[in-house]
Amino acid sequence: MAGQTLTRADLSEAVYQEVGLSRNESAELVEAVLGEMADALVQGEMVKISSFGTFSVREKGERIGRNPKTGEEVPILPRRVLVFRASHVLKNRINGE
């Protein structure tokens, strides 16, 4: 599966195959779940999916960076970053244990 990407359409198709909803209902369900996750993250909440992992937003402070071409110091502004931490179950599955 290296080099392939799982898309929203693929997720919708999997829901359609497994659950038996219509294709439109499956697509709406996937969109609703992803929308809820995104909304929670925007509000600063953690999203924990059991046996999969945890998504959270972390605040990064301002720091000084360096332009690699010129060596000039450049301030990097504070920002929020998305962090994913895989569960042990997922890590073990990836490693074939």
Name the maximum alpha-carbon separation found in the chain.
58
> 87 near 93, Cβ under 8 Å?
no
pLDDT single digits (tens) 50-81: 999 999 999 999 999 999 999 999 999 999 99
For the whole prediction, is pTM greater than 0.85? Answer: no
- According to the model, what pLDDT value does residue 1 have? 43
Specify the long-range contacts of residues 16-23, CB closer than 8 Å, at least 24 apart: none
Residue 2 backbone phi and psi in degrees, to 5? -60, 135
Q: With 0-12 CB in 10 A as exposed, 13-18 as middle and 19+ as buried, what is 88?
A: exposed
Q: Which residues pair with 60 in a beta bridge?
A: 79
pLDDT single digits (tens) 6-49: 999 999 999 999 998 999 999 999 999 999 999 999 999 999 99
- According to the model, what pLDDT value does residue 2 have? 57
